Each structure stands twice: as structure tokens, then as C-alpha cells.
Amino acid sequence: MDEAAFRDWLSSYTDADRCIQAFRSQKQFFRVNTIKCGVTEFIGKTKLGCEPIAYCPGAYGLLERPSFQIGKTWEYFLGLIHPQSMPSILSSLALGPKPGETVLDVASAPGSKFSHMAALMENQGVLVGNDLKGEKISALYSTINRLNVLNCIITTLDGSRLPWKSRFDRVLLDAPCTALGSGAGAYERWEPAHSAKISILQKRMIFSSFEALRPGGEMVYSTCTYAKEENEEVVKSLLENEPSARLVDAGLDAPHETGLPEYGDEFKKCMRIYPQHLCSEGFFIAKIRKGE
């Protein structure tokens, strides 16, 4: 599609020029894998140039040259760190899984958020990682093995037809999306009709995920895209059709914009993260609680 048309569309959400400029100068981030190494211990060992992220304990911005390949460092090979975008790290923090809980990651491959949740759970409890695409499971297993995730079960089920009812304390649905906030050349694959089409699948997945959540439990719905059809519209559909569903504050102090006001005051609790906020990819995060 035409880049000028994409800019016009993006400007309905945020400052398009700032967004695109920031997207083209993203920083590299990583988090310490606390399953294998404490943060203080890691800082005492590493020679990586990095700075801590104030609003995200255990996360660091890389200060090496832009072309630096963090995946070729000894810290990476030993599983002491995992490269991950800042909003991706924040989505797991928003969910806040705890040791001993039963947690589901509906679309878990390649495992960045999944392994982060395992660390937050201190490798205790039960963490179910699901992904329908079998070709992506090998990447998930690679992440699990490198980072020493032990409290996990892997399934390959259709996320829009999950077999569980009221089973999990917490559920993460990082839904398949148009990924306009992630990867270069977003405008080249931008197609409004695609958002409308994939929104149908996302709605099926959010209802299925919510059904798997026990009463009193919490879930996070997230995407790495900007389109309201894939974000607020999906969450709105759940709220309108599930009386026990309500939005709650994500509890994160990171820079962001709120959900679109056209959907109502409740959507102020959602987070829209654009590249200019964190020097990272664009993201949407909504936290939802299931009433008792």
C-alpha cells in the first residue's frame, strides 16, 4: 500500500511522523532470566553495555552499536538473558502470574512471554503453552530448553476452540494480528480489510480464552498492532457479551496512551504503546477480570 495513505491512517491514532521515526530507530532490549541468574549476580558478570529500565525490574536497554547481535553472546547461549521488546515484557508483567498458579498462554510460540511468565512464577505451578502452528513449536522448545523452564506443558490446540472451562488462574492471549507495530515496512502489508478479517478470529479466541479462565481470575489480551478493529473492538465484544468480564488497570508505570475514548471511559484502563513511548515496537494491552 501507499506509505502516505498509511501515514494518514496512522495519524487517526497517534502522531504518525513521530511514530514512524521512532519505529525506524528502535533500541534493543533484553531481560535477565531470573530462573538461572539473579539480576545483581548478572550485572556482576556481564560485560554488555546496558542500562536498567526504571519501570521494568530486570529489563535492560542495550547500549552497544545498533548492529550488535545479542544472540551471539555468551550471556544468550547460557540462557542468562532473553532479547525481547519492551511492550512484550510488559504484557507478562501486566498479567502478573505467581508461583503455584495455573496459567495458560494461548499463543505461546516462540516463547518470549511464556518463558518470562515461568520466571515470574519462579518455575512453580503449572504453565500451559499452546500454539496451533506445529512449525512454531520447535522454536518454543528451544526457548524452554535454553532458559531452563521446567513448570510447563505444551499443547497444540485451536485457540478459538479451547477445551477448558473455568480452569486457569490467569490467561495470556497475545493474539495473531496484522503486526503493524512490529517489523519494518508495515505500510507495505497494511490493508484495512485484513484487520476486519482477522478481528473475527481474535474475537473467537478471546471468548474461548475467557471461558478457560476461572471466576476471579484475570487475563491479558495483547497485540502488536494499532488497528482498533483488532484491539478495542475485540475487547468491547467480550465485555458486551460476557456480563462477568470487566476491564481493570494493568498496573504498569510505563509511558503509554490510553485506549481509544470512543469506546468509553473504561477503555482508559487499556494501554496503547507506540514506538515513540519506549523506543520499541507498537503494542496494545488490555487486562480483564472474570467476576466471581
Q: Is 224 a catalytic residue?
A: yes
Q: Using one digit for the tens of pLDDT, what is the confidence trace for 35-64? A: 999 999 999 999 999 999 999 999 999 999
pLDDT at 39: 97
Q: 169 CB contacts (<8 Å, ≥6 apart)?
A: 97, 101, 102, 103, 214, 217, 218
Specify the DSSP element, H or E, that contains 292.
none
Query: What distance in Å separates the CA atoms of residue 161 and residue 8, rounded to the nearest whole number?
Result: 37
Residue 187's pLDDT band, with cuts at 50, 70 and 90, is: confident
- Which residue, among 251, 248, 242, has the nearest Cα to 210 in the 3D structure? 242
Mean pLDDT (whole number) for 96-102: 98
Q: Using one digit for the tens of pLDDT, what is the confidence trace for 58-89? A: 999 999 998 999 999 999 999 999 999 999 99
Among residues 50, 56, 152, 224, the one annotated as catalytic is 224
Residue 3's pLDDT band, with cuts at 50, 70 and 90, is: confident
pLDDT at 140: 96
Q: Which regions of the chain does DSSP assign to beta strands (E)?
A: 29-32, 50-52, 59-62, 81-83, 102-105, 126-130, 152-155, 168-174, 213-223, 245-248, 257-258, 271-273, 283-290
What residue ranges define each of the domains in the chain, with the CATH number in brackets? Answer: 3-26+85-290 (3.40.50.150), 27-84 (3.30.70.1170)
Query: What distance in Å separates the CA atoms of residue 69 and residue 99, rounded to the nearest whole number?
Result: 33
Q: Which residue has the higher pLDDT, 66 or 13?
A: 13
pLDDT at 2: 78
pTM (2 decimals)?
Answer: 0.97
- Evaluate if residue 173 carries a pLDDT over 90: yes
Nine cell digits for residue 200? 473475527
- What is the DSSP annotation of 209-260? HHHHEEEEEEEEEEES---GGGTHHHHHHHHHH-TTEEEE-----S--EESP
**Whole-number Cα distances in Å, 217 to 96, 153, 166, 171, 243:** 11, 20, 9, 8, 14
- Indicate the residue type of 22: A
